[in-house]
Amino acid sequence: MVVIQNSANDASINEPNLINTLQKVIADLGEGDSELLIRLVDKNEIQALNKTYRDKNQPTNVLSFSSDLPKEIEEMILGDVIVCLEIVREEAKAQGKTFEHHLMHMSIHGVLHLLGYDHIVEAEAEEMEALEVKILNGLGIANPY
């Protein structure tokens, strides 16, 4: 189940489409029964989170926080993905992408982090990017790279 918290109060977000798409992506990746929170925020909120949890005092496009429930608790919670709508809009414009497509990409990127994918090491970055491209292609979204 995907839940959206639109703390930025942005009425232009097609929340049902984002929910349905992410539920399908999670199911396709074998985590269909898991819970996921997508929180849509402004620059101030994501900067505060980035400073607190990553020691980086600047806004960023997306942050992922894995669930830290003990395995004994039988809840399937992937975690939280925090997306900064302002940054995603700015990046989409600068990169010549639609906001909707870039929002979907950043949301999927955050979900992949929750599933253990990363892009610190080059080989892992290539694997993660290839999976993102494959997923986005299945959604009719062009290669973002």
The annotation places the binding site for Zn(2+) at 109, 113, 119
Residues shown for the chain: 145
Binding residues: 109, 113, 119
How far is residue 69 CA from its own chain's centroid? Answer: 20
Phi, psi of 42 (to 5 degrees): -100, 180
At 3, the amino acid letter reads V
Q: Report the distance separating Cα 66 and Cα 115, nearest Å.
A: 8
Q: Do residues 85 and 8 touch, judged by C-beta distance below 8 A?
A: yes
